[in-house]
């Protein structure tokens, strides 16, 4: 999956999850992706923009917009999304490569 290759190329990304209607197998207009940074990440905005560019290319390729929600590791631990219990894991960096989110 192209999302995984984008994520694995950026050491500041801890995990990528899918959520929303596409992942519930319902009618959808976009694909919702949750991007979580590592605890060590120092430039969150740059990490977001880098991932967003890759996701935009994928969205154009498949003809469906990709909507990105970005959370820091700390924000992720606070479980702010209504759909936190139904996230679909798309990518998770190996535990020995980052501090646990």
- 97 has pLDDT over 70: no
Domain, as residue range, for 64:
2-94
Number of domains in the chain: 1
* In a domain? residue 13: yes
- The CA–CA distances, whole Å, from 35 to 5, 27, 63, 64, 69 equal 14, 23, 21, 18, 6
Q: Is 80 exposed, middle or buried (0-12, 13-18, 19+ CB in 10 A)?
A: exposed
Please give the pLDDT value at position 14.
94
Residue scoring higher pLDDT (64 or 96): 64
Quick: pLDDT tens for 17-70.
999 999 999 999 999 999 999 999 999 999 999 999 999 999 999 999 999 999
DSSP secondary structure letter of residue 100: -
Please give the pLDDT value at position 98.
47
Q: Which pTM value belongs to this model? A: 0.87
* In a domain? residue 71: yes
Cβ count within 10 A of residue 57 = 13
Q: What is the CATH number of the domain that holds 82?
A: 3.30.460.10
* In a domain? residue 31: yes
* In a domain? residue 99: no
Instruction: Name residues whose C-beta falls within 8 Å of residue 93's C-beta, 6 or more positions apart in sequence.
Output: 7, 8, 11, 13, 14, 15, 38
């Amino acid at each position: 999956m192209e999302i995984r290759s984008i994520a694995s190329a950026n050491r500041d990304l801890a995990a990528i999850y899918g959520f929303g209607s596409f992942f519930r197998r319902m009618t959808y207009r976009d694909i919702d992706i949750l991007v979580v940074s590592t605890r060590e990440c120092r430039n969150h905005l740059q990490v977001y923009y880098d991932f967003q560019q890759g996701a935009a290319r994928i969205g154009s390729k498949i003809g469906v917009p990709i909507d990105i929600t970005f959370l820091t590791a700390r924000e992720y631990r606070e479980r702010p999304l209504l759909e936190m219990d139904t996230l679909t894991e798309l990518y998770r960096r190996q535990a020995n490569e980052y501090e646990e989110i």
